Structure 1
Amino acid sequence: MKTVVIVNSNAGGGTSREEVEAACACMGDLSVVMSEAPGDAERLAREAVEEGADRVFAAGGDGTVNEVLNGLADGFDRVEMGILPMGTGNDLARCLGLPPQLLDAVTFACDQPSLPTDVVHVHGETSRFVLNVSAGGFGPMVGEKLTSESKTFWGPLAYMKSAVESLAEIEAFRCRVVADEEPMEASLLNVVVANGTHVAGGIPIAPSAKLDDGYFDVLLFPDVALPDLAVLVPMVLAGVHEESERLIRRRCRSLRIESDPQMMFNVDGEIFGGTPLAFDILPRVLRLVRRP
């Protein structure tokens, strides 16, 4: 089996090709390639498909995983994907229950088969595939304040620090949403489209979401009074918010959203674009190395 490992050279405080090759020796016919700049991992994944790879692993954080996913899009039916968590947030790895240490993750990958997995397709002026979570409103505002330096210094706490710094800028959006065939209008602070369960370095934003059920979970956070928000935020951090009357939750195959003003969205933690946007589930199109 021909395996390509695409490594974010900045992940894990900087990891060399030789270190990864040594860790991944059990993978047999192995090629390790380094991603040095944004867009590299997507290009390298596309090249791996063209060159006949059987398995392609993303070694890095959530941004690297998303780039590799999109690079594999034309080969979903031909190539298996795997993840070696080496970033700051590693939210998808957490959702999948992957070992956090490189050697343990490699051992897991060598022993584990791939399983059919859902992917979300988001499209507006451009399009992108999403494996974990896409969020709009407050979430991308937090992401815009993150820097590589803050993530290196603060680790997972960088997301919380950025969230606190963004509170003063929080704004409401007048939204029209169509969840499957159900239209609704609301003033919203945040919108979450979740295929996976965790965001922002470990927050269980959608604990009930499943990667292979043919649906994504939608969480709409209305523009509520500050006391209600003060109650809701700790519930979100504890993962006990899904049935709260202070938010709107749906399980969907498709979602359409328009807003005024324009609401910006991220995909797997990386800024993508703004409304109007459409989200669609692609059931079980990706073969992903993971636990059942």
Structure 2
Amino acid sequence: MNSKAKGGSATRWPTVERELRERYPDLRCATPDSVGEAEKAIRAALDAGARTVVAAGGDGTVNLVLNALMDPSTDRPRRQDTALGAIGLGSSNDFHKPFAAERRVAGLPVRLDETRTSTVDVGKATMQLPDGSSQVRYFLLNASMGLVAEGNHAFNTAGGLVRGLKRLSVEAAILWTTVRTIAAFRPLDIEIHSADWTYPGPITNVGVLKTVHFAGGMRYDTGVERSDGQFDVNIWAPAGRAAIVGLIAGLYRGRFSQSPLALTHRGSAVGLRPRQASPLELDGEVTVVTSARLEVLPSVLRVCG
């Protein structure tokens, strides 16, 4: 749990913690003040023999815990018997979807059942940064470049009206951010390639998926599964604002593949090379990159049911 979290996460946590302690008397909680402290706490717990690490927060918190669990020297968890759990305190909670009534604590979605774990794929992103350095990050849900990454960046950093809307309705805040992003967006000039196909761009958006759920209430209708060893690569062709709005409206109803803007490929590894440095979104967290290689690590992580 992030002790500096604001809004829903901070206000909901005390109620959730009370109920959790009733169910799990041996529960140990850490409230780090920074990413570095969180990583240290997670690794200390692993060294002490913890077999389940639970991320209490949104999808970004799940991503933080995932990256602390993974060992870049092996592309495997630091301990093979470790399971990842989560408590959905965030605005989207896409990691928990589809929601299940039996997986709730204090009305919030959770994945806490150590007796019903599944083994899932992990995405690995090797990113080239504008300063010439490289960075490796792991992801569980999806990656994107283009409109969605721009929108995520705007949503994560917004103040004023959007911050107020988040408190009233996350969906309304996402929708308003989307409208503003569309108004300012220009097609992204990018080359996308896999082992047996290339897309030369430009695009409105590319989503590289391990789950169909993204950005709150939107979802694709393509067939990716969390343990199939492949990405779905869903490309939105460039179009006018009205057509993009129509596509987004369809995504809120789970419709994508029949859109005239839709193109879907599959691949276990995907390269992204924008003409200029651009935001890359991984599970809602954004990094500006000059290029990235995304690859599937098949069935490497246990997650709680």
Distance 1:130 1:107 in 2: 19
Aligned match for 2:38, one of 41, 46, 55: 41
Asked if the contact 2:19/2:106 (under 8 Å) is kept, the reply is no
For residues 23-54 of structure 1, what are the alpha-carbon distances to aligned partners after superposition, in whole Å with 9 as ceiling and x for unaligned? 24433532111133344433322222222211
Alpha-carbon distance in structure 2 between the residues aligned to 1:106 and 1:27: 17
Aligned equivalent of 1:286 = 301
In the other structure, the counterpart of 2:234 is 219
Q: Against the structure 1 CA distance between its residues 273 and 289, is the aligned structure 2 distance closer, same or farther, given a 3 Å change threshold?
A: same
Distance in 1 (CA, whole Å) between partners of 2:67 and 2:139 is 8
Q: Which deviates the most, 51-60 or 76-85?
A: 76-85
Counterpart of 2:199? 184
- Percent identical among aligned pairs is 23
2:288 is paired with a residue whose SS is strand
Residue correspondences, number: 284
Please say if 1:87 is aligned against 2:96.
Answer: no
1:131 and 2:143 correspond: no
User: 1:120-269 counterparts in 2 under 5 A?
Assistant: 120-124=123-127, 125-146=134-155, 147=158, 149-150=163-164, 151-205=166-220, 208-269=223-284
Unmatched segments (≥5 aa) in structure 2: 72-77, 128-133
2:105 is equivalent to residue 102 of structure 1: yes
Is the Cα–Cα contact under 8 Å of residues 173 and 261 in structure 1 kept in the other structure? no
The range that moved more, 31-40 or 159-168, is 31-40
Unpaired stretches in structure 1, ≥5 consecutive residues? 1-6
Mapping for residues 55-70 of structure 1, pairs under 5 Å: 55-70=52-67
Q: Which residue of 1 aligns with 2:74?
A: none
Q: Is the 8 A contact 1:137 1:190 kept in 2?
A: yes
The one-letter amino acid of 2:2's match is N
Distance 1:286 1:89, change over 3 A: same
Q: Distance in 1 between matches of 2:266 and 2:198?
A: 14
Q: What's the CA shift for 1:110?
A: 3.8
Deviation for aligned residue 1:15: 4.8
1:16 and 1:246 map into 2 onto residues whose CA distance is 41
Residue range with higher mean Cα deviation, 100-109 or 28-37: 100-109
| 1:201-254 superposed Cα distances (whole Å, 9 cap, x missing partner) | 121135532111111111111212445334322222211112434221112100
Distance in 2 (CA, whole Å) between partners of 1:108 and 1:287 is 12
User: Is the 1:95–1:196 Cα contact (8 Å) retained in structure 2?
Assistant: no
